[in-house]
Structure 1
Amino acid sequence: MSAGSTGSFQSTTLEITTGNREVALDITDRCVAFLNERAPGRDGLLNVFVPHATAGIAVLETGSGSDDDFLAVLRDLLPADDRWRHRHGSPGHGRDHVVPGLVAPHATLPVLGGQLALGVWQSVVLIDTNGDNPRRTVRLSFLG
């Protein structure tokens, strides 16, 4: 983890291992820990950014099957077959490069009193369909 801050801007990077299969990984707890350390009691915005061409950030329900359903939808929309012009890596890897067009590589979330202002069932989720790259960087930035 690396850190940086300037005035009311706080930032850190997380190194996350996602493994060799597609994943919808709930990183809400990491966002909460960052805010508890860097923005206790403050109002502002948390930006979550993944600087990768084959991953994204989603806000969705997890743990009740919605995360698996989301990955299933991506598989249906973007099959891992030989239709893709981008052909390096695993068979069908070209689809992974289309994912950020559907799942943005960032999300900006409200923070009130140092707490994420998410809905009851919402979580911050790293979406990674690229089994060729098991390590991801996520940048958390608080402005407030």
Structure 2
Amino acid sequence: MTTSTAIPTARQRKSRTRTTNVSSKPPLLVSQLPPARVQLTHRAEVLACPACDTWCPLTLDKGTKRWKVSPHHTAKAGTPGARRCGNSNRLVVIDVTLVRLQEQQVEASEGLARLELGALVVLPGLGVGEDAPAPGGVQRVELPVEDLGSGLIRA
């Protein structure tokens, strides 16, 4: 009976696990997506999938160096019978500059803040005129958008 003294060696493996598959759907254009659903920070490029609203990282296609949506499922991880989203491996065309995208995101957030503040303000314990107080001491006060510019709310 002889024993082998040879040291086992690991076999050669692929250098990357990224797939070269590309979806047959037309590419997504970043300029046509809402600015709040795209984040293109350096080395953390993500977007919300238009089909399933899942935040997905963008990866570079191995052969062509084009951006594409990484493969993802439509349901949460571990869900039985999970199906892959139809937008998996779909190409993404970044047709706006980073500066312009950031400007659009700022404009969208300012517009949302204006809508939230201008419509209805609920202040506890604030008496306005001769109105009777609401149950629990909370009154609803409508303020015009012009009065919110200073940041101070006066009774």
Tell me if TM exceeds 0.5.
no
- If the length of structure 2 is used for normalisation, what is the TM-score? 0.20
Which structure has more strand as a fraction of its residues?
1
Q: Which has the higher contact order (CA 8 A, sep 6+)?
A: 1
- If the length of structure 1 is used for normalisation, what is the TM-score? 0.21
